[in-house]
Structure 1
């Protein structure tokens, strides 16, 4: 079924024979990029019903129960009102959170150190945030930290990355990291720099995912970190 324009008048116009009615359906197939859909209405599969609430459309997925506004008997006079959720359930909380507050951020200001060349936690773990990855499978991850070192060697360096757990699992990676390494020319010099970067992730699985920053030292020195920031923005 196709519609030549975005005009919903033919759908919403009152049909004298049947009048305005409410029905329910179950999403059987859903394309999060185009909103193409298949809905099971009383055992009948209907393709590509129009959607009234496009803001909530990003949350729809196969298996969701949806309300349908029917202004006639034929499927061409139906449209999806939105997903049905039960108040007080995790599904309702997840839907409200994803729509009203999708961005998560956390900050740790305390200066803490590590001498490990392997990525790991500092004394205060994190920052750490949990977000709901949408059906697009995409998000932006922003990390930032003040990094420095004090060493008797002329060389020194620091590195920071992040991991993910939950619906998605990611390990630290040089391609998803911020780094500082330098030759000061003065063995006793203490150096501090602010670094930050934004990373685009795609191909993720929809669902709750926890992101956590991790840290390491380079070139055999003790690395210091402070004013650590983590921001995750589902797309």
Structure 2
């Protein structure tokens, strides 16, 4: 008995050649939230090319970046952005590598210093401070840590630490972005000290160089002590 599938000849027949190609384009608009894009290719604006690699490089795409494009036909709907084209030894390459490898900034002050201020303020040695370049995503993580203690006879005491930002972004201190230590059951007989830390996620920031600086305060009239103060900022 002969079946239609017995004839394997069609499997060996010549198939249409894939029309793979490579082109370059210039990013004219880029939405870091959903990857919507406009790319100029040979003077023509093409909307929303597919992103082949949605990795860290794609997150940092920005207008005027030159990108490589894989073409699989005449229709732009089948084209895909491969990634940025960066010439070694240029400022653009140095900036890109710096963002990837050195984007995180941190600072530490170990000296123990105190304040009685009920509002956030500087200690005798201000800071620490960390300056980063906020990327087109407008997002970053701010990590605070400090050893905090108080000793105020006859009262309930406490400490608090927050941060401000200046430069491309202006951010004020906030109780919602702070680390705190408070005794609600009575004053210590001599002294109380603890280590505290927290991570804060920020978004909707302006791209550009921004400096984050820790600030400190006392609670309930205590003399608040701080040491081993650490700030780390990680642009996303």
| TM-score tier after normalising by the smaller chain length | 0.7 to 0.9
Secondary structure of the 2:172 match is coil
In 2, the alpha carbon distance for the partners of 1:27 and 1:72 equals 21
Aligned counterparts, 1:159-198, within 5 A = 159-182=160-183, 185=186, 189-198=190-199
Find the counterpart in structure 1 of residue 76 from structure 2.
Answer: 75
CA contact (8 A) 2:160 2:181 kept: yes
In structure 2, relative to structure 1, the CA distance for the partners of 1:14 and 1:123 (3 Å cut) is farther
Partner residue, 2:98 = 97
Q: Which 4+ runs in 1 deviate beyond 6 A?
A: none
C-alpha contact 1:154 1:184 (8 A) present in aligned 2: no
| 1:159-215, Cα deviation, whole Å (9 max, x unpaired) | 100111222211101111112233674576222122222222222223332211111
- The change in CA–CA distance for 1:186 and 1:138 in structure 2 (over 3 A counts) is closer
The runs of 5 or more residues in structure 2 that have no matched partner are 1-16
1:31 and 2:43 are equivalent in the alignment: no
Unmatched segments (≥5 aa) in structure 1: 1-12
1:48 corresponds to which residue?
48
Offset of residue 52 of structure 1:
4.1
Q: Does the 8 Å CA contact 1:28/1:63 hold for their aligned counterparts? A: yes
Q: Offset of 1:109 from its aligned partner?
A: 2.0
- Tell me the CA shift for residue 43 of structure 1: 1.7
Counterparts of 1:69 and 1:180, CA distance in 2: 56
**8 Å Cα contact 2:155/2:222 also seen in 1:** no
Question: 1:230, 1:37 → 2: CA distance?
Answer: 35
Name which one, 1 or 2, has greater alpha-carbon Rg.
Answer: 2
Between the aligned partners of 1:185 and 1:70, the Cα distance in structure 2 is: 71
Q: Is the 8 A contact 1:110 1:227 kept in 2?
A: yes
Summarize the alignment of residues 220-235 of structure 1 with structure 2, pairs less than 5 Å apart. 220-235=221-236
RMSD value over aligned CA atoms?
2.8
Find the aligned partners of 1:76 and 1:131 in 2 and give their Cα distance: 37
The alignment's TM-score, normalised by the length of structure 1, stands at 0.78
